[in-house]
Amino acid sequence: MQIISYNVNGIRSAINKGFLQWLERSLPDVVCLQESKAQPEQVPVFHFQEMGYHDFWFSAKKKGYSGVVILSREKPDHVQYGMGNRAYDDEGRLIRADFGDLSVISVYHPSGTTGGERQAFKMKWLEDFYDYIQDLRKTRPNLVISGDFNICHQPIDIHDPVRNAKTSGFLPEEREWVSRFLDAGFIDSFRHFVKEPNHYSWWSFRANARPRNLGWRIDYNMVSDNLKDDLKAAGIMPEAVLSDHCPVWVELNHRV
């Protein structure tokens, strides 16, 4: 099973830039999208269906904002929309699909870059998300959590750790949260296989950042540690230039 996570920064914009052609070339088993920024009726979903995908959308109440999607070649046994918390669910931040004993989550963690109020919202979300996942593991222990976490974990994950030390997305308390999350039973699948620096999944539109590879690795496929022996490979696809993010992927030998 190959799972790809991709923050498309607007699915309609990504389609105009070649998303459907990219998907047809890639044809992963599951695609987790973030920042869809659309209601499903605004998107030509028949294209996904023609490629053999089932599509599931959890959009924000606010038009043109946030939103998560799961595309899957196999029909899930169950799809769960949201976390049961209106403050988060109104922003369309989490959707889960169950395939046999495996659950795949597409998640879009809040950004705190606009200032103190949203940074506080982000930190509250992180604590509630942590509790939600630990509770979920009691009934769905085999988890792949794919999405934009809006946090670089280690200095190796950001092009300039010194000057960004006090920037949202690389704050000490955010990085500590990722460490705690991993210690609670998850594997950063990319770092499980790739130890080298200079691998990123997001680049600013400013300062010619992408051609210069001045990026941040903020997109992850987190895999519950009980699936460690099923991990086959993981990687990043910087050649896909449909968004300010690029896709990140993981392959599992796990059977559903």
Residues 137, 226: Cα–Cα separation, whole Å: 11
pLDDT in tens, 161-199: 999 999 999 999 999 999 999 999 999 999 999 999 999
- Domain housing 79: 2-252
Is the pTM here over 0.75, yes or no? yes
CATH number at residue 230: 3.60.10.10
Mean pLDDT of the chain: 97
| pLDDT score at 121 | 97
Residue numbers annotated as active site: 148
Number of domains making up the chain: 1
What contacts 93, CB < 8 A, 6 or more positions away?
66, 68, 82, 83, 107, 108, 109, 110, 125
